[in-house]
A = this chain, B = another copy of it.
Amino acid sequence: MKIAIDAMGGDHAPAEIIKGAVEAAKEFGIEVLLVGQQAVIQDQLKSFKNLDSMVSIIDAPDVVGFDEHATQAVKEKPRSSVMVGMRLLRGKGVSAFVSAGHTGAVLFAALMTLGKVHGIQRPALGALIKTQQKPVLLLDAGATTDCRPYYLVQFAYMGSIYMNKVWGVENPRVGLLANGEEEIKGNLLVRSTHQLLKQAKLNFVGNVEGRDILKQTVDVIVTDGFTGNVALKSLEGMGESIFSSLKTVFNSNIQFRLAGLFLRPALRAVAKQVDYSEYGGAPLLGVRGNVIVAHGRSQSKAIKNAIRLAKQTVDQGLPQAMMEEKLWLNQ
């Protein structure tokens, strides 16, 4: 299996991206294609031995910065790593493309190059949230900020298919993110969506609140990309805040420091729960190709895990299964 990686995208590109990609190639027995400025990548690869044919470079001289306007940058830089990677994917040169670059640029490049799945109105970024057992998929995590009710219904279908195929969840439970559990709760969008979801061929269990996201009462949580993004970053912010306070406590005196050291393995397990790098990436659902968006702050571990996720998705026959699906055509 060949997977392309955007070597230039992300806060820690190219070093951490390349490191993660090399590790993934070795560990998962796949071939990785590093897309980016050839000379830069070549230089970085010098420190790795025995790569043989596991790692190759695809030159992409342009770079899209985080401060650039997404659509403009993508249009004006057809030889950026994001665009070169997408074209590889479209031409079936690779089975998946992973990028930790500018999310807006990745999204726009995917729409421009791959196009949407037949019948799907808008793409959605699916965030995999770690819980005690299988992950919960929250979508949209930021691809489509302004949504209509039937976009959310399509997100629910795509999310259900994804959780079923890739994570083996039978008849995934779908929840609608709202400001209360009762059917009458929600803004206009949510109240309309609730009624549509009740009629859909889905295992819709009703509204869920921000507090329920981590409780595994559902497998798929649908929301617009604006709210989803705010909710995810709020979860993340609280996790960071608590662990930073705990660190301060453990460093406040020598006894606490010792207790902290003793508890470290157990605390690590708790910290894993709030670690975005655990799955490494978010599948972009609704486009005609296997695109995984990694966190901008990704380091090698996150990139390796994002590539694992890409492989797993390909192994389970996505996005082909999604492209052949007709569930949303009659809505």
Contact = CB atoms under 8 A, between A and B. Distances in A.
A146 B240 contact: no
Interface in A216-252: 223-227, 229-242, 245-246, 249, 252
Contacts of A327: none
A50 interface: no
Nearest to A223: B230
Interface in A123-151: 142, 145-146
Interface stretch (A4-12, A35-43, A114-122, A260-268): A260-268
A330 interface: no
A242 B238 CA distance: 9
| Copies of this protein in the complex | 2
Nearest to A236: B211
Contacts of A273: 241-242, 245
Nearest to A230: B210
Nearest to A213: B237
Interface in A244-299: 245-246, 249, 252, 255-256, 259-260, 262-263, 266-267, 269-270, 273-274
A215 interface: yes
Given A241-B273, A242-B239, A274-B242, A230 B232 contact: no
Nearest to A246: B270
Interface residues of A, number: 57
B231 A230 contact: yes
A145 B179 contact: yes
A51 interface: no
A256 B264 CA distance: 10
A102 to B, nearest CB: 11
Contacts of A315: none
A186 B256 contact: no
A207 to B, nearest CB: 11
15 contacts: A142-B179, A145-B179, A179-B225, A186-B226, A209-B233, A211-B233, A211-B236, A223-B230, A227-B227, A231-B231, A232-B234, A234-B234, A246-B267, A259-B259, A259-B262
Interface of A: 67, 69, 142, 145-146, 177-180, 182, 184, 186-188, 190, 209-215, 223-227, 229-242, 245-246, 249, 252, 255-256, 259-260, 262-263, 266-267, 269-270, 273-274
Q: Which 9 A-B pairs have the closest CB atoms?
A: A210-B233, A210-B234, A179-B229, A238-B238, A234-B234, A211-B237, A187-B226, A249-B266, A145-B187
Given A145-B188, A211-B233, A215-B241, 9 more contacts: A145-B187, A211-B240, A226-B227, A235-B238, A238-B238, A239-B242, A241-B273, A245-B273, A256-B266
